[in-house]
Amino acid sequence: MELVCLGLSHRSAPVELRERFAIAESRQGGLSVELATVEGLQESVVVSTCNRVEFYAVAHHSERGFEALHSALTERGMEPSGDAFFRRSSDDAVRHLFRVVCGLESMVLGETEILGQVKDAYGAAQEARATSRYLNKLFQRAFNVAKEVRTQTNITRGSVSVGSVAVKLAEAIFGKLSACNVMILGAGEMSELTAGALRARGVRSIFVANRSHERAVTLAERMGGKAVRFDNWHGEFEDVDILIGSTSAPHFVLTQSQLQPLMARRRHRPLFCIDLAVPRDIDPEVNQLDGVYLYDIDSLQAIAEQSMEVRRGELVVCEALIDRHVREFRTWLDAAVARSKQTEPVIERHSSDAAVRGV
């Protein structure tokens, strides 16, 4: 009895190829059961996310299992040929699944979304009765491994994107963001992403000021905020807690001398300035002002990179943990297969006796 895994991922295939093989969530359970009934295969789970499409199955022999998978997929117009596809069998397949659910195979190392996606895929396959003893055990063990890796290592630690770093810093300054007002200067893509991340954490309101007022209105509508005339952004500044600078101005839009009198009117409320523009929008000198915390794109990226470095440093610990679980799973699998071999002849004998008696 062998476990096989056939698939492609962001590491081996570009998005154009991945999207050709992507399987809608609603189809995953159905396809799993179709594959599980193919001759040469016994159980199956189909995992399809934006970064990977993987077919897990149980087969008597790995090579025959891969062949069966290949033909079944080809029949369905998804011929898995070419270098983009990888094949894993036996312990390698188990290790691969464990690495996937732990986020070690993800585009962003240690991300946790994949665990939920694999759980959903397994849930769909289980519901469609495409799984049984071996894959049930394998996936449940995989979820336990993911939990252990998350709690015992730093693989999910810290924020690894500019938006999430900005949100974390804002929370470190203000606590809950539900009382915070955000102002965006310049309707750029980065500022929209960052403001979106802040909005997801429940900020009270978002003001958008842009040289082209139409763009400000468009972005404000998209963000559920309020557009402000660029020449008049100072007017709304008193209530602002988080300022995102993202204009294409060749000079500083906000200087220390401009900010100092504005800060005096804020009753010592802190101000978090996020400067995403290059050239920068906010004079670095404003960081000297009491209660002003300025982070430019480099400092945000440095924090994100620092977190990523910590995660990379945890890889060795994660691998060791995964290796232990792969060994334990192998021990269980060997014992389970041996037990089923012992019981098979008995069942066969009983069946033949029953047939003789005409039962």
Partner 1 sequence: MPYQTMDRSSLVASTLCFLVCFALSVQALRARAQGASSTTLWVTLGGFLLQTIWLSQRGQMLGRCPLSSLFDVLIFLSWSVALLYLITGTTYRMSLLGVFTSPLVFLLQCLALALPLPDVVKNTQPANPWLELHAAVSVVAYGAFALAGIAGATLLVQERQLKTRKLHSFFYRFPPIHDLAAANRRLVYIGFGLLTAGLVAGLSQGVAHIGFLRVVSFGIWGLYFFLCLALGRQRISPRQTAWLACGAFLVLLTTVWAVQLVEK
Supply the residues annotated as catalytic: 50
Q: Which is nearer to partner 1, 114 or 170 (CB)?
A: 170
Least Cβ distance, residue 293 to partner 1 (angstroms): 5
Helices (H), the chain: 15-21, 25-36, 62-75, 90-101, 113-127, 133-152, 162-174, 189-200, 213-223, 233-236, 256-264, 297-313, 315-357
Q: Answer for the pair 57, 94: CB distance below 8 angstroms, yes or no.
A: no
Question: Could you tell me which residues come within 8 angstroms of residue 244 by beta carbon, excluding any fewer than 6 positions away?
Answer: 182, 183, 184, 185, 191, 194, 195, 274, 276
What whole-number distance in Å separates Cα of residue 327 and Cα of residue 318? 14
Sign of CA dihedral 176, 181, 184, 189: positive
- Write out the H or E segment, with its range, that includes residue 9: strand 2-9
| Shortest spacing between CB 183 and partner 1, in angstroms | 18
Q: Shortest Cβ distance from residue 212 to partner 1 (Å)?
A: 32
Strands 2-9 and 86-89: antiparallel
Q: What 3-state DSSP class applies to 288?
A: helix
Closest to partner 1 by CB, 157 or 226: 157
Residue 73 to residues 33, 78, 132, 241, Cα–Cα distance (Å) = 13, 5, 21, 54
Question: What is the Cβ-side half-sphere exposure of residue 246, based on CA atoms within 13 angstroms?
Answer: 20
Inter-helix orientation angle 25-36/62-75, to 10°: 130
Q: Which is nearer to partner 1, 175 or 279 (CB)?
A: 175
Nearest distance, CB of residue 275 and partner 1, angstroms? 12
Please say which residue, 176 or 339, places its beta carbon nearer to partner 1: 176
Residue closer to partner 1 by CB (options 10, 157) is: 157
What number of residues does the chain have? 359
Which residues lie near partner 1 (CB under 8 A)?
A: 157, 168-169, 171-175, 267-268, 270, 287, 290-291, 293, 295, 299, 302-303, 306
How far is 135 from 129, CA to CA, in rounded Å? 11
Shortest Å distance, C-beta 239 to partner 1: 15
Instruction: Write down the least CB distance from residue 297 to partner 1, Å.
Output: 12
Helix (H) or strand (E) holding 5: strand 2-9
210 backbone dihedrals φ, ψ, rounded to 5°: -145, 150
Task: Quote the crossing angle between the two packed helices 213-223 and 189-200, to the nearest 10°.
Answer: 30
Q: How far is the CB of 253 from partner 1 (least distance, A)?
A: 21
